[in-house]
Amino acid sequence: MFRNRGNILLIVAFIIAAVFALSGGIFYSLAKKTSNPTVNSPAESSPTPSIEVQEKEEVVPTIVPVKDNTLDILFLGMGGSGHDGGTLSDSITLARVNTVKKTVTLIAIPRDLWVPIPSGGNNRVWQKINMAYAKGNGNLSKYVVGQTLAVAVDYFLAIDFNSFVSALNELGGIDVEVTKSWDDYFYPIKGQELATCNFTLEQINLFHQKYSGFELEKQFTCRYERLHFDQGLQHLDGETALKFVRSRHSAQYGGDFARGERAQAVLLAIGQKLLNQGLFDPNNAIFKKLVGVVKSDIALKDVAGILRSLGELKSYQIKRLYLTDQNVLTPAKSSSGAFILIPKAGSDNFDELRKFVQD
């Protein structure tokens, strides 16, 4: 649905102002995937998927998208050093700016989407879409997202979570609108992943016999901390904002899909803070530090063309679109047992998903 028109300035101005500070490619980004905030991730709320998909290698035809009055920018967020799978882009959002309709559509792409990723020559290996950045950084992610959605992605902007925290702390924190009060009693404490919580080896072996997956992990309560957020406008520092975005196990507001809305709320809050404090100045020391922690392929020479194509920013509206199992996707599992999401029309049929995005 369309949001307040003023929000578009927070997104577009943030993009443009950051680009001004570039001399070849640095920016900031964070976004995620979500549906209704009360809906948990399929991995947590759905029964074990009965669909099994092979992890096959094959030749996949290349799609050549038609570029039509749009500027497409891909936002990527990674765990970074110190996190399991630190090079996986677990946060993926495509911003589609339509310069004729004067809209920006933020498309949240789930990390578990099963797609073909180039593996050499014309061959493709089917993997989760978050593997693209790990295998080839932003340019490969641009290609894979573009082929999946049948769009021509112009630029990528990527940041790891460690840099995200330091950037927000440089900014002095942000004020985020929390739409509902919620708790997460199982947010992992960094460095405590293997803590025994004073259990004996015999007790730990019994846990492993009785439980598996997250049910096993929940027995080790010392590995987790409780998060609580009250409804309303809340001031968050970098560490707390990251927890706000990454939390997965809230009974009221949890799951991979739900946390995408929180990530977009953080992105808007960053834009609002920059605008309110007049920090969109390429010579500002804080602004320089912010853009200095992000990787991008936006070059300074592209700025003039971007500005001309956008026109009057105040006339834009913002729209949010989420690719979930509530619309065009369905849960499944790979032949190795991994949870994945595939199009409802079939694992290799993206026509309905592409039409959903184009419409």
Q: How far is CA 150 from the centre of its chain?
A: 19
Residues near 213 by beta carbon (within 8 Å), at least 6 away in sequence? none
Phi, psi at residue 67, to the nearest 5°?
-85, 120
pLDDT tens per residue across span 126-159: 999 999 999 988 999 999 999 999 999 998 888 8
Give the pLDDT of residue 3.
41
CA distances from 239 to 56, 163, 164, 193, 203 (A): 40, 11, 9, 18, 34
Largest Cα–Cα separation, the chain: 68
Q: Which residues of 302-340 are buried (b: 16+ CB within 10 A; e: fewer)?
A: eeeebeeebeeeeebbbbbbbbbbeebbbbbbbeeeebb
Give the pLDDT of residue 273.
80
Give the pLDDT of residue 41.
36
Give the pLDDT of residue 29.
30
pLDDT tens per residue across span 49-107: 557 787 777 777 788 787 778 889 898 888 776 666 778 888 888 988 888 888 888 88
Which pair of tokens denotes residue 188?
């992992």
In terms of CATH, what superfamily is 6-173+254-358? LCP protein (3.40.630.190)
Could you tell me the residue ranges of all domains in the chain?
A: 6-173+254-358
CA-CA distance, 234 to 254, in Å (whole number)? 18
CA-CA distance, 126 to 56, in Å (whole number)? 6
Q: What is the pTM of this model?
A: 0.76
Residues near 204 by beta carbon (within 8 Å), at least 6 away in sequence? 196
pLDDT tens per residue across span 310-333: 777 667 777 888 898 889 999 999
pLDDT tens per residue across span 327-341: 999 999 998 888 999
Q: How large is the average pLDDT for residues 180-190?
A: 93
Element (H, E) at 236: strand 232-236
326 neighbors 42 (Cβ within 8 angstroms): no
pLDDT tens per residue across span 204-218: 999 999 998 889 999
CA-CA distance, 49 to 28, in Å (whole number)? 36
Degrees, nearest 5: CA angle 144-354-143: 15
**CB-side neighbour CA atoms (13 Å) of 112:** 23
325 neighbors 46 (Cβ within 8 angstroms): yes
| Between residues 43 and 244, the one the model is more confident about | 244
15 neighbors 156 (Cβ within 8 angstroms): no
Give the pLDDT of residue 139.
93
CA-CA distance, 20 to 16, in Å (whole number)? 6
Q: How far is CA 177 from the centre of its chain?
A: 19
